[in-house]
Amino acid sequence: MLRRWHATLAQRWVRLRATFLVAVQAGLAAAIAWFAVHDLLGHPRPFFAPIAAVIVLGASVGQRLRRAVELLVGVALGILVGDALIVLIGSGAWQVGLSVTAAMLAATFLGGGPVVVVQAASTGVLIATLAAPTGDFFYSRFFEALIGGGIGVLVMALLLPVNPFTLAERAAGPVLSLLAGGLRDCAAALADGDRQLASDALARLRAGEADVDHLEETLGAAWEVSTMAPVRWKTRAPLTQYVDAQVHVDRAVGNARGLARRAVSALTDAEPVPAELPDAIRALADAVVALRDELSAGAEPVRTRERARAAAGRAGAAHRAGTGFSGAVVVAQVRAIATDLLRATGLEQAAAESAVRHAVGDSETGSR
């Protein structure tokens, strides 16, 4: 909170731009939900329709459609259980507690996940305290919430949907930058004999696991938007590159952690480090940066492939120059990451492995 208070005007503007589309979606969904229930269906006070629409939209930002539907079910179920109990037993402290308990148990019994259960409970509290039913037709508000939440889902999917390619680009950027930075630091650590720098690189690569998980989740959400929203269908082709690359980028980050661990061991044991080894790792970092840029541009990843093959060739040269045990493992990890990056560019496993072997063979021929 303190850091946010001191944010610059530029930073505030960036946050405002990121939230603008969601705010417009929420306002539009609330207005449509009110109009549908009040003007078309004749409900005099359609309180829950716009509320359900906003809850579904606001709480499912950047998440998958399934989460939005879960929230809608939670809201509607909380209203149904809360209204039914309050009509039967009235309002009061113990009635509030019973409404919450019953809503949570009903959501659990119907197979709802944590999101559905919590949303059902919170809506039950709202019903029992602020919006207790006044008539016998309590079930009308249940359908009102379903209509409002359904409108929220439709607005999220069809009207002003977020740009899925932009979501993918923003999620992939930190992961690829983390990978490139970790590799560069490992190369510098091996070149300078700096064990602490290698340890710091390993720590950052380990801490970046949350970014890797976020990338996978975001790509799932982005693909759903590109599939459901007609205005976003044109993003499916470039988005496919991100979706296909994700699993291989994940493996590359895991192999980079292994490389960093062995770099620390090599420096701890004072193993010989031929100059070709840091060069190979730097070439890998260049390949990662090229992959980030070419995915962002929706371009054929030609530079990524060239630099990944170059990294494999230099790793082979490092092995021939002579390394210790940990250094040999670093060489193997360079080859593994080069293969991961080639797979991320769309090559099949056999083609990627063949390209790496040929790169190593070419470097060996060139050194003779």
Query: pLDDT tens digit string along 160-211?
Result: 677 889 889 999 999 999 999 999 999 999 999 999 999 999 999 999 999 9
Instruction: Indicate the CATH number of 164-367 among 2.40.160, 2.60.120, 1.20.1740, 1.20.58.
Output: 1.20.58
3-state secondary structure of 19: helix
Residues 6+ apart with CB under 8 A from 51: 75, 145, 148
The confidence score (pLDDT) of residue 342 equals 97
CA dist 140 and 131 (Å) reads 13
CA dist 149 and 238 (Å) reads 31
**Sequence spans of domains, the chain:** 2-158, 164-367
8 Å CB contact between 103 and 82: yes
By the 10 Å C-beta count (0-12 exposed, 13-18 middle, 19+ buried), 306 is classed as: middle
Percent of the chain at pLDDT > 70 equals: 86
CB neighbours of residue 199 within 10 Å: 18
Could you write out the DSSP letters of every residue in 136-176?
S-THHHHHHHHHHHHHHHHHHHHSS---HHHHHHHHHHHHH
Residues in the chain: 368
Average pLDDT score over residue span 120-146: 68
Could you write out the DSSP letters of every residue in 266-291?
HHHTT----THHHHHHHHHHHHHHHH
**Matching residue, tokens 């999620």:** 171
- Confidence band, pLDDT 50/70/90 cuts, at residue 301: very high
Taking the chain, what is the end-to-end CA distance rounded to the nearest angstrom? 62
For all residues of the chain together, what is the average pLDDT?
A: 84
For the cut 70, the answer to whether the pLDDT of residue 129 exceeds it is: no
Region of residue 61 (left: phi > 0; alpha: psi -120 to 50; beta: else): beta
- Confidence band, pLDDT 50/70/90 cuts, at residue 113: confident
Query: pLDDT tens digit string along 335-360?
Result: 999 999 999 999 999 999 999 999 98
For the cut 90, the answer to whether the pLDDT of residue 329 exceeds it is: yes
The confidence score (pLDDT) of residue 368 equals 45
Average pLDDT score over residue span 38-58: 81
The confidence score (pLDDT) of residue 244 equals 95
pTM: 0.72
Instruction: Using alpha carbons, select from 139, 130, 152 the residue that is nearest to residue 72.
Output: 152
Percent of the chain at pLDDT > 90 equals: 46
Residues 6+ apart with CB under 8 A from 5: none
Average pLDDT score over residue span 112-125: 75
